[in-house]
Structure 1
């Protein structure tokens, strides 16, 4: 356990988007806390707090220049250890020791021996993962001054393909939102100059929502600044073929869930 501690700290310290941004900035060389704070538009105290976490985890080291100002730089040894751990994560290993959820599931199985404990575990793990995904969405949206629902709406317009426009009704399915909620998001994004409403040429009374170039820049900025959430970082640690397998299994599970929801909805009508 003791041998794992340095690597564990390296990974844990990257859970915060601001700390990942600080490390990205330090790729350019040693810099002072005030300079880093200005570039990230945060207070000096906040920058120092994040830098302290990175220093304790082993990511950065600090030295003073000839004027006595503290300069922070990335430790190459930490980066080497980090990438070595990432490589190890892609190597198939033996069975992992059980975690708290496995213990919880074992207790559940004792109470309900006739049920498949994996069905219980799948639900419990998805619940915990959904919390990570929800937090990641909030962090990514907040980094660009928009709300999570607004970020999802922009993503839905982007994935609709050129000319990146949809009717509010078309947006309902990918967003799983009410028309009122979509209208509210569109109004805010329109005020920010990120979308515009235009008449629907196929429906005299309808409108289309079109994503403007400024909105695409926001989506690009989230990726270029590496403001990735915990869920994204966690997925990147998996080998590509395992990610593909997981994606396929989750799709299968979603299809079954969608079909069951549709069946229940039909029974209620």
Structure 2
């Protein structure tokens, strides 16, 4: 592939500068950042038809993939979503007002509320997750199956290093 992307231009400019920069690492970081930004924009557009923002979708999808009864304690949601309890409360409140989520006292811990998908939330989550997954898949369309598998291995290696 001989085509240049915007990162090639940026790197060439840095090569001309008086700074000693790790350009090979910068090439990886800048492309990962650009791909992530493009993916976030694509996914946000895909969710517009459901009037969901990505954070709200993440809550619905987490409850959906938890399986029946599609109900979790806030602590489990926090662990999965990697957000603060305050941020989760705001998302749950918005989703509850729209009829997608209900909350009830946890019978095992009366200081906590369980969050569950309502019938309406289950229907919206089921449709949104398909549209979301297709938008994600479209991003990787230019890659062969072998390229995708290799990219998964490499990205996992980066994540495991960062998160260790």
- Fold conserved (TM > 0.5)? yes
The correspondence for 2:55, drawn from 146, 149, 165, is: 149
How many residue pairs get matched? 164
Shift of 1:186: 0.8
Aligned with 1:214 (options 99, 108, 120) = 120
SS at match of 1:146: coil
Unaligned runs of 5+ in 2: none
Counterpart of 1:158 in structure 2 is 64
Counterpart of 1:103 in structure 2 is 9
**Superposition TM-score, scaled by structure 1 size:** 0.53
Which of residues 152, 155, 158 in structure 2 aligns to 1:250? 155
2:145 maps to what in 1?
A: 240
Structure 1: state its 5+ residue gaps. 1-94, 260-269
Between 1 and 2, higher relative CO (CA 8 Å, sep ≥ 6) is seen in 2
Give the superposition deviation at 1:112. Answer: 7.6
1:104 to 1:127, Cα distance in 2 relative to 1, 3 A: same
Residue deviations 1:160-182 (CA, integer Å, cap 9, x gap):
33332222222223322221111
Tell me how far apart the structure 1 counterparts of residues 80 and 39 of structure 2 sit (CA, whole Å).
Answer: 17
- Cα distance 1:255–1:213, how it changes in 2: closer, same or farther (>3 A)? farther
SS at match of 1:210: strand
Aligned mates of 1:136, 1:190 — CA distance in 2: 26
Cross-structure match for 1:28? none
TM-score (ref. length: structure 2): 0.82
